[in-house]
Amino acid sequence: MKAEQTDLGTLLGGSNQQFIVPLFQRTYSWNKKEWQDLWDDLNELLDDEGKSRHFLGSIVTIPTSAQPHKIKQYLLIDGQQRLTTLFILLALIRNKTKESSLAEEIYDQQLINKYATTRSANCHSEKFYRLKPTQKDCAAFWALMPSTLPEEGSTFSDEFKDSAIIHCYRFFERKLHKVDLEQFYNAITQQLVVVSITLDTDENPYLVFESLNARGKPLTQADLVRNYFFMNITDNQQTEAFEDYWKPMQDTLGDSLTEYIRHYLIAVRETDVKSQEVYMTLKKHIEDNKLGTIQSLKELASYAKYYCNILAPQHELSSIIQKALARLKRLEVTVSYPFIIKCYDDYAHQKLNENNFAKILGLIENLVIRRSICNMARQGLNKKFPNLYREAKQSSPTNLVKGVANILQSMGYPSDDDFKEALKIANLYNPSVGRELAREKTKLILESLEDSYGHKEVVNLSALTIEHVMPQSIEKNAWWKEHIGEDWESIHTSYLHTLGNLTLTGYNAEMSNSEFSKKKLWLEQSHIELNRYFDRIYEWKEVQIVQRTEYLVERALKVWSNFGDGTLPSLIKKNHGVAGTKPFTLTLKGKEQPVEFWKDVLIATLEFLITEDVNFEELAEDFPGLIAKNAFKRPIPLSNQYYVNLPAQAERVYHLCQQLMEFAGYASEDWNVEYKSNAKVAQT
């Protein structure tokens, strides 16, 4: 066996060679998750301007029978998904750089064997290309790299429409529109590092593959960490170390053990750690800091106790800390866990009292609630939370709560105006974060508003469910359609999941889709303070929903009160009164396009989501009055056989477009429209 570390350019650039994916391997199966992870890793390398390297893992090959003076062929035993994806990326860069010297270099040095003597459409005899996928993937893969460059916007044959190979190509094609392609190519070929393992020819390739992939679960990063510790602990200490330190972590955390170790490393090293780099990072951490093996294992086990309480708050003895942790868990603020375990260590060693620890947890909740309502991406927090503890200490050495507040407000903390503006129109059931998480966050918001009334009698809020006063489904409900009015479809779409239309109840099944007068009877006898509001309400139309929204927004401002210094800039787009205006420029993910009418803005936004492969079946389910397979009263066809129902008011188009982008997981800055009002130009 021969093993060596090498960059990807060297591995792929060897002349007259071909990697063959054996038939016993599965077909190409990476999807958006893996593609996005690779894209994120490459972007970090771009940001680093060529200074760092990223370890991609191992590539295991075995040579076929020797062929002197011909193409050297290697069976690709392990790493085919990664290697295939990178070949696709190289083909894409070559196709996008057209007739440049870079395109020629990629084609001649990485994609093909230029002087191969056997060129054929037959997958079995083809040696011209440097990667030969499994039979099912051959034709789609080679369609990406024709000798004649494809025209801009060209399409592939219908026979490939379901191919993961082509979907991968399209995914990265959309991503590369604002990237320096030569710099991106250099990152792939020079900064991606692999360990190339070439096995002896007498090895059985199937047995090797089976041992790597099929016999039980592959080693996790936690398994590698365990092996590292116990290879470096003397025999007479191993049993005690295992029983006292490792086994309690393993038994309590189970499948979460690797993620815990990653969060521990982020906490102690104050930098992000990739999931696949946990073992190497821990090994480096111990060696760099000359830490003793037993002492390192002991500290890891100590922090694990805090982590267990974060995952299962009911084990925390302090009731106020338990409540704060439980609220954060419902929001799935995992990015904050490394910081929290550092604070937990202070609390455990009596450097931080329980009230101040709970206040710090409340500050994190406040930040996350405000940012999520304002549709601000969570990704940016990954680089800010690892340093939060140190920076907070530096900001206020004697008062950690004050220091945390100082630093959190610099992490994209929305002002009161931002929060109010966003909460008035927010689709609280926004599924871009996941339907279960969206519902859980919405219920937490409603429960918090209910708690804000300060009941002396405690109500069991966990037994209640969310009630939509205007029902979720009214297409076949004649009473509600007539009650709301002629524009019921648009009103239903715009306000269904907004704060004003939601409440808590134990009578969800009884109320169902009943008309408002019947729902009102149930709400009036409720012990929930939120429902006392309906005592003086006798109809439920757009005006009433908007009024209740504004009332609850003011309460929300007190629940998640501003801990900033009052000088925070506006971070989100605001509706500066779009009624009676005329839009002229729409910007989607940095790409501008002209528009003349507000309907153009809506249609262009939807067509953009079509090109981004957004699931329109789910979109139609969440926006039933806006998008459907069948025609509306004022139908406008889209390019994917769906129809859109154009709202009559510009404000509604504006808000719906924001909600649509939220649904698809885009941040607020990804959608921008400029419009004219009284001969002036406004920009949102």
pTM for the full model? 0.64
Rg (CA), the chain: 29
Cβ atoms of 683 and 672 within 8 Å: the answer is yes
In this structure, the chain runs to a length of 684
Amino acid (1-letter code) at residue 652 = R
**Does position 4 have pLDDT exceeding 60, yes or no?**
yes
**Does position 359 have pLDDT exceeding 50, yes or no?**
yes
Backbone dihedral region for residue 569 (phi beyond 0: left; psi -120 to 50: alpha; all else: beta)? beta
Amino acid (1-letter code) at residue 475 = E
Top-confidence residue, 470 or 229: 470
- Centre a 10 Å sphere on the Cβ of residue 372 and count the other Cβ atoms it contains: 24
d(C-alpha 651, C-alpha 575), whole Å: 8
pLDDT digits (tens, 9 = 90+) for 626-680: 888 876 666 788 999 898 887 767 887 888 888 888 778 787 788 999 988 644 5
DSSP state of 220: P
Planar angle of CA 265, 269, 272, nearest 5 degrees: 70
In the chain, CATH 1.20.1380 sits at 582-683
d(C-alpha 4, C-alpha 108), whole Å: 25
Q: In the prediction, which pLDDT does 654 show?
A: 86
Element housing 505 (H / E): strand 502-505
Q: In the prediction, which pLDDT does 122 show?
A: 45
The segment with the largest mean pLDDT, out of 5-19, 221-235, 310-324, 654-668, is 310-324
Side-chain half-sphere CA neighbours of 123 within 13 A: 18
**Does position 288 have pLDDT exceeding 50, yes or no?**
yes
Which two tokens mark 272? 């992000």
pLDDT digits (tens, 9 = 90+) for 130-150: 898 877 788 889 888 776 665
Which two tokens mark 668? 């607020």
Pairing of strands 192-198, 54-63: parallel
Q: How far is residue 332 from each of residues 120, 221, 327, 539, 673, measured CA to CA in Å?
A: 53, 23, 9, 37, 32
pLDDT digits (tens, 9 = 90+) for 560-580: 999 977 665 555 545 556 778
What is the mean predicted confidence (pLDDT) over 456-462?
77
pLDDT digits (tens, 9 = 90+) for 375-414: 776 666 888 899 999 999 999 999 999 999 999 998 889 9
Q: What is the three-state SS of 407-425?
A: HHCCCCCCCHHHHHHHHHH
| Topology of the domain comprising 582-683 | Replication modulator SeqA, C-terminal DNA-binding domain (1.20.1380)
